[in-house]
Amino acid sequence: MKRLARLAIAAALLSSPLFAGQPSADEKKVWSMEDTYWRYVQANDLEHYRTLWHKDFLGWPLSNPEPARKAQITDWITLHTSKGESLKSYDLERLAAQVTDNLATVAYRVRLHWVNQKGAPVPGSLRVIHTWQRNAGGEWQIISGMAAPTNADGH
């Protein structure tokens, strides 16, 4: 009986969104939007970057001491660029995604490879969670999110 219960629990866990084998079309789309997000950061394309954010966004970027609205969403990028830094490359480690109706939440780690104005590396890494909302036109925008530093071991 205990073995049967353990098998049932294992089956339930493996079918959960955290362990699902094939991502849904919506999950694929939102992960694609996360890739677009980081391409805009790398290109320092603040105009297009802002289009990813819902007008009613509320979140907590790592660089902000308090929660932020859409008007402050590029502050963390300009913090880097004002010091002469640019994003050379990034690596996303996709950890989890969950789509519920018109909301999709993704959680990941990103390793950032910034360079300063002399070309010297300025590495960084973050833990990120974004909640995307699908609007009536079918487009996804970030409605909420938070970033935090990774642990000392990079996780």
Q: Is residue 42 in a domain?
A: yes
Q: Walk along the chain (155 residues) and give the pLDDT tens digit of each residue.
A: 555 545 444 444 444 445 557 889 999 999 999 999 999 999 999 999 999 999 999 999 998 999 999 999 999 999 999 999 999 999 999 999 999 999 999 999 999 999 999 999 999 999 999 999 999 999 999 999 999 999 877 77
* Domain contains 82: yes
- Domain at 102, CATH number: 3.10.450.50
Contacts of 145 (CB under 8 A, 6+ apart): 57, 59, 60, 61, 128, 129, 130, 131
DSSP 99-130: EETTEEEEEEEEEEEEE-TTS-EEEEEEEEEE
Residue 1 counted as domain residue: no
* Sign of the four-CA dihedral 71, 74, 80, 82: negative
**Is there a domain that residue 14 lies in?**
no
Are the C-beta atoms of 76 and 85 separated by less than 8 Å?
Answer: no
The CB-side HSE value for 67 (13 A sphere, CA atoms) comes to 8
* Domain tally, the chain: 1
Residue 6 lies in a domain: no
Query: DSSP code of 142?
Result: E
In a domain? residue 3: no
The parent domain of residue 113 ranges over 22-149
